[in-house]
Structure 1
Amino acid sequence: MKKKTLALVLATALCVSMFAGCGKAQTEAPADGASVEVSAEEADAASSETSVADGELADGVYTASFNTDSSMFHVNEANDGKGTLTVKDGKMTIHVSLASKNIVNLFCGTAEDAQKDGAELLQPTNDTVTYDDGTTEEVNGFDIPVPAIDEEFDVALIGTKEKWYDHKVTVSDVKPEASEEDQAAADNVAKLIDAIYVQERTDKTDEQCAEAKKAWDALTDSQKELVEGEEADPDYFGRDTGDASKDDALNADKIGDKEILVVSFGTSFNGSRSEDIGGIEKALATAYPDYAVRRAFTAQIIINHVLARDGEAIDNVEQALERAVSNGVKELIVQPTHLMHGAEYDELMEALKKYESKFTKVAVAEPLLGEVGKDATVINKDKETVAKAVVAEAVKEAKFDSIDAAEKDGTAFVLMGHGTSHTANVTYSQMQTQMEKLGYKNVFIGTVEGEPEETELSKVIDKVKAAGYKKVVLRPLMVVAGDHANNDMAGDDDDSWKSGFEASGAFEKVDCQISGLGRIADVQKLYVEHTGAVIK
């Protein structure tokens, strides 16, 4: 999350045209192309169309989102897509700092009109932006008249290559600038959130989680929107991810001497936690009624988030193992829900070593996709089962009769995994091999982290484009449909997979399916089989 400061140094006086309102008719220019002088009365008349309707926005200074139709014309990243909107005497102007000095003039209207004699161009200001790492950069800024909020209007631009381009922009999400008191209250909450956004649990963690939630609840709605830290934002407490009461943390005591400990990375998305992770846990409990099924997450960051926001206490691996010892468990079966023998699996095995002597039996079942082969050509029965299961669900949700019917329709399915720098990353390449072996030529595997390299977003887009598909369905290749699925895959930010496919201009339609593997019956059955293999 970007921290930013902005020092504005006005390089030139604005042309009188800024009062005319972008996208509106311009004052007629003299034939010789001389600059136009407009009286105050004429300026007021010309600006009447930019006035804010009574009761909408009072005179004052606001922050607002400045949205454009191009990745080449946007607010500098240090400012998170925001500009400063000034309302005075019913007229609106937004100041935005751009990404560089490459755009040298703007024009309120079309590129065609910008090139007419007497066209009044908006001149740049010299802005200094400061990035997270403390570095600064001088960029061009502009004061742009705003005809209306939440309505698209025309702005043309010319860059250093001296060619005019048409663009559509909107100004939205207008909020009053915060008072010092409001900002201080929000900053305090951001600090408290950042303090619990950590992977290590301490003796103070529970207290810190409660303190952060209490401070958040004390904020007004407008103060909550100001929360911004290194990791903190309003969504930490404010985003609706489903009903937490439907989830069972599975941390009860007095459970008998046989336990299946289901170890997951975890998710703070309540709906996915209950459907995906909970779905696997319930399947195991049904299949093995003589065993108590218990839960552990490996991501302390997620455990803290759920505890702070929802008051739901989920054990980490060490807590779960200590609980099993205290409960007198003798036979401990551990079922990881991880996809592969990767870093999370390795860390789990290290943690178990400290407790092996405290149980009569400790057995660890295979992760979902089984053993990792030596190269991309090595596949196994587990990978085949998962490939068939996830494709069948994706096809069904997309309302096709078969994968072949989707292929004939020009639809490709892109399954987005997490990715890893661990040597087990070959698993993703193996899953692509598995899809091809099954004849699923319109199924492509990608990863958020872009590891292995061929699964990186731009390379996946190129593959789908080269194959000639015009429609794309994105779906997570992950046990849960949590943060990565909702934000990295299906989010509206420019760096999401959905936005990447749309921005390529190569596809007529891009849809997203927010469903984890854990809710698929055949995937649950595979976990049951893995667990059964080590119980025997």
Structure 2
Amino acid sequence: MRKITHKKAAAVAMAAALSAALLAGCGSTAATTDSVAESTSTAASESTAAESTEETADESTADEAAAKNCADLIDAIYVQERTADTDARCEAAKAAWDALTDTQKEMVEGENADPEYFGRDTGDASKDDPRNEDEIGENELLVVSFGTSFNDSRVADIKGIEDALQAAYPDWSVRRAFTAQIIINHVQARDGEKIDNMQQALDRAVANGVKNLIVQPTHLMHGAEYDEMCEAVDEYKDKFESVSIAEPLLGEVGSDASVINADKEAVAAAITAEAVKTAGYDDAAAAAADGTAFVFMGHGTSHTAKVSYSQMQTTMQTLGYDNVFIGTVEGEPEDTACEAVIEKVKEAGYTKVVLRPLMVVAGDHANNDMAGSDDDSWLSQFKAAGCFDSVDTQIAGLGEIADIQQLYVDHTKAAMEALNG
């Protein structure tokens, strides 16, 4: 309707110009003709400019609408509950993204949607294995992880643990489940890889006629996710002849910060050795002599299991790693908050800092909260403190460390022994 209006206005302007020129007939015919031509040309230019402006506005509106539609579809699958139409929603979101121009993709913005949801390169998903095959036999080892949408980390960390377990126990079929539906949807929509959630995995085990089920979580501790996993398994216990749930990485929690165990000691030694080696030192003592501190950033939790982070700090000190510090993204416990850890490292006199995740995977928290470019990332905050000569990051999950994988193998062995006992 707006284009018709502009054309009418242009036509009126041209007619008015022509009439004015003819009525002004005090000059020569040539002058009159020139005047008419000039007036007509001006009116035509104004009409073209008006139409061009309108077309630009229409294109901008169309870009915004297309970007918003895609953002809405992404937000619709950024949920923790799977429904009957989840698969269709995942397909629709990806189709909407693929239909966008590069300009429109940069405009995608929603409650949780942004251009990186589909646009960020996190590695080759084809290298992963969702481990959701059927006809697997009577013995299943279900490896339960929170999950990550970072493909390279999923392959190195989660698949790395699963592969180690399969190699250690060839008579058991290793299968996968993620507890984060948000991540499952992300991977499915972007990469076409379908990973089972807990209910799907347990239903699949029942349908496959599994008799003996061992559940090995890759979770760090006995936190909220571990509790939810146990509740889900409990609902299916009567569908199997035997079920056993293995310990998470850090083992039993303990009553206070002073209580440590063999699992925490093994984890502390393994992750410190890996960080020290990656940084180019022979051992932690050599790094300390060079003024280098290592800061491991965990997630943090309000769950009572948060004392595990304090216990890990105690473990580091017990093992003589005075230049190793434990922090958390959430700042729970309080003394693990970024600003608190900065003060600890500063007071201890270290001038060089290496940041590394205390997480099974190197996903969003490691890449953004720890090593991101935003002002609130740990890397940025440590640099902004102005008291360190250098601040470096090691973006690698715990799951790719061989000694960590062996701990999961050991925990599974204990669960098997409990199953048989």
Higher relative contact order (CA 8 A, sep 6+): 2
Counterpart amino acid of residue 282 in structure 1: D
Q: Give 3-state SS (helix, strand or coil) of 2:163's partner.
A: helix
1:411 matched to 2:292? The reply is yes
Secondary structure class of the residue paired with 2:344: helix
Pairing partner for 1:295 from 139, 155, 176? 176
**Among residues 345, 352, 357, which one is paired with 1:476 in the alignment?**
357
Fraction of identical pairs, as percent = 72
The answer on 1:515 being equivalent to 2:391 is no
Q: State the 1:354 CA deviation.
A: 1.0
Take 2:320 and 2:282, find their aligned partners in 1: how far apart are those partners? 16
Corresponding residue of 1:320: 201
Partner of 1:160: none
Which structure carries more helix by proportion? 2
SS at match of 1:362: strand
Q: How does 1:96-111 map to 2 (within 5 A)?
A: none
The alpha carbon displacement at 1:229 in A equals 0.4
Q: Which residue of 1 aligns with 2:251?
A: 370
Render the CA deviation track for 1:251-289: whole Å, top value 9, x for unaligned. 000000100000000000000001000010000000000
Look up the match of 1:237: 118
CA deviations 1:66-122 (Å, max 9, x no partner) are xxxxxxxxxxxxxxxxxxxxxxxxxxxxxxxxxxxxxxxxxxxxxxxxxxxxxxxxx
SS of residue paired to 2:248? coil
- Does the alignment pair 1:284 with 2:165? yes
Give the structure 2 partner of residue 181 of structure 1.
62
Q: Give 2:128's aligned residue.
A: 247
Corresponding residue of 1:311: 192
Q: Which residue of 1 aligns with 2:342?
A: 461
Large movers: runs of 4+ above 2 Å: none
State how far apart, in whole Å, the 1-side matches of 2:233 and 2:154 are: 24
Give the distance between the partners of 1:344 and 1:423, measured in 2 at CA.
Answer: 12
Which secondary structure state, in structure 1, belongs to the residue aligned with residue 83 of structure 2? coil
CA distance in 2, matches of 1:432, 1:464: 13
Matches within 5 A, 1:152-231: 179-231=60-112
* Distance (Å, rounded) in 1 between the aligned partners of 2:112 and 2:387: 34
- The corresponding residue for 2:4 is none
1:382 to 2:263 alignment: yes
Equivalent of 2:145, from 255, 260, 264? 264
Aligned match for 2:322, one of 425, 436, 441 = 441
Q: Which amino acid aligns with 2:232?
A: A
Q: TM-score, normalised by structure 2?
A: 0.85
* Deviation at residue 178 of structure 1 after TM alignment: 7.7
Look up the match of 1:120: none
Q: Distance in 2 between matches of 1:310 and 1:363?
A: 33
Shift of 1:534: 1.4
- Aligned counterparts of 2:377 and 2:227: Cα–Cα separation in 1: 29
Please state whether the residue corresponding to 1:349 is helix, strand or coil: helix
Richer in strand (by share):
1
Cα-to-partner distance string for 1:468-497 (whole Å, 9 max, x where unaligned) = 111100000000000000000000001100
The answer to whether structure 1 residue 395 and structure 2 residue 395 are counterparts is no
Q: Name the structure 1 match of 2:234.
A: 353
Rounded to whole Å, the distance in 2 between the matches of 1:465 and 1:406 is: 16
Q: Deviations over 1:235-257 (max 9, x none)?
A: 00000000000000000000001
Alignment-mate amino acid for residue 330 of structure 2: E
- Tell me how far apart the structure 2 counterparts of residues 534 and 515 of structure 1 sit (CA, whole Å): 28
Shift of 1:421: 0.3
Match of 1:113 in 2: none
Q: Residue in 1 aligned with 2:53?
A: none
Aligned counterparts of 2:69 and 2:88: Cα–Cα separation in 1: 16
State the number of aligned residues: 361
Matches within 5 A, 1:25-174: none
How far did 1:177 drift? Answer: 12
Using the TM superposition, give the Cα deviation of residue 402 of structure 1 relative to its aligned residue in structure 2, in angstroms.
1.0
Give distance in 2, aligned partners of 1:203 and 1:448. Answer: 34
Is 1:335 matched up with 2:179?
A: no
Instruction: Classify the secondary structure of the residue corresponding to 1:384.
Output: helix
Q: Which residue does 2:37 correspond to in 1? A: none
Which secondary structure does the structure 2 equivalent of 1:290 belong to?
Answer: coil
Give the Cα–Cα distance (whole angstroms) in 2 for the partners of residues 353 and 443 of structure 1: 39
Q: Secondary structure at the match of 2:293?
A: strand
Deviation at 1:401, TM superposition (A): 1.1
State the alpha-carbon separation in 1 of the partners of residues 204 and 319 from structure 2.
Answer: 44
Greater Cα offset, 502-511 or 426-435 = 502-511
Question: Displacement, 1:508?
Answer: 1.1
* In structure 2, distance between residues paired with 1:317 and 1:256: 19
Q: 1:438 to 1:178 in 2, by over 3 A?
A: farther
User: What are structure 1's unaligned runs of at least 5 residues?
Assistant: 1-175
Provide the alpha-carbon RMSD of the alignment: 1.1
Write the distance in 2 (CA, Å) between the matches of 1:463 and 1:183.
48
Residue 506 (structure 1) aligns with: 387
**Structure 1 counterpart of 2:312, which letter?**
M
The whole-number CA distance in structure 1 between the counterparts of 2:265 and 2:120 is 36
2:373, 2:230 → 1: CA distance?
Answer: 38
Q: Which structure has the greater CA radius of gyration?
A: 2
Q: Deviations over 1:314-333 (max 9, x none)?
A: 00000000000000000000
Residue 21 of structure 2: aligned partner: none
Shift of 1:405: 0.8
